[in-house]
Amino acid sequence: MPLFLKPIFHEKIWGGNKLTRFNYDIPSQHTGECWGISVHPNGRNIITNGSYAGQTLDQVWQDHRELFGDFPSKDFPLLCKIVDANEPLSIHVHPDDSYAYEYESGQYGKSECWYIIDAQEDAEIIMGTSIDNREDLQQQLDQDNLLQSLRTIKVKPGEFYFIPAGTIHSIGAGVMVYETMQSSDISYRLYDYERQRSDNPSLDIDKALDVIQFTADIPNISPENEIIENHKCSYIVSNDFFTMVKWEINGTLNYMKPREFCLVSVLEGEGHIITDGEIFKIEKGSNFILTSEDLDSVFEGDFTLIISYI
């Protein structure tokens, strides 16, 4: 039986109200994030169906590891969320696994991939910098010239961007993204547009400078598209951290899980999933996990899915 999850919302100074497009009951007009699939201490989803209803996903992860193929790590590896940037996010960077393990109490680092759900005309993201060393970047910060050295990219709905740990980045105003990432909430902030933030008032410049990968090339994602049972399947990214696949389904798809458990989010449309003879309605905004017990799954309907797994 799939594990359906109740979303968790985080209000942000830069957040908006567009998450209502997924039929979510958001807490305010400044709701920046919906965590759809998470066991992270900053947002643990509650299971809404079956014998585990009312339990948090981290409880089931700890007590019923067999549902996840006895995954070898003690920590759940992934986090999936939607970001609504009504205003630009701070300029920030995430650490890799080795730095996070040493300086952040053994946590995962954070590499992530964005699918652009929506973007207003001429909306941008920031990925990387033209500066190639720590000293010059520090000088730009001291002179309040950081923005001049950052690489900006105009984005459109349907595009994908992989953000490796160590990459300076930000989501610009008017952009909504779906993110698959390592299960981490560590961000080191370099610049925040002079905003006053009661939730996190200080920048993290020293740690940010420690982890920035100045010589790293920005990866260019070209999804590999395949037609399977008359449905479009786009393989977005696959690396040591996660695989992310977009499915555009119209009709019936017999789905064979590629791993013991898969994370599924419905971004458009509605229909059903049938697992082992049980029928579950799914619609835009649904988030669930196919477990090791869901051996034979059938999707029926007209919808767009993002499926992520290790």
2 vs 273: CA distance, rounded Å: 9
Scan for tokens 């890799």, then name that residue. 96
CB neighbours of residue 165 within 10 Å? 26
Of 21, 65, 189, 259, the active-site residue reads 189
Backbone CA torsion sign across 107, 79, 120, 235: positive
Q: Which residues of 50-84 are buried (b: 16+ CB within 10 A; e: fewer)?
A: eebeebbbbebbeebeebbeebeeeebbbbbbbbb
Q: For residues 114 and 94, give the distance between their C-alpha atoms in angstroms, rounded to a whole number.
A: 15
Q: Is 21 a catalytic residue?
A: no
Phi, psi (rounded to 5 degrees) for 176: -120, 130
Q: What is the DSSP string of 76-128?
A: --EEEEEEEESSPPPEEE---HHHHHHHTTT-----EEEEEEEE-TT-EEEEE
What is the C-alpha to C-alpha distance for residues 145 and 227, in angstroms, rounded to an integer? 47
Task: Say how far apart CA 35 and CA 22 lie, in whole Å.
Answer: 13
3-state secondary structure of 242: coil
- Short-list 124, 121, 149, CA closest to 135: 149
Closest-CA residue to 33 (of 49, 56, 17, 51)? 17
Question: Catalytic positions, please?
Answer: 189
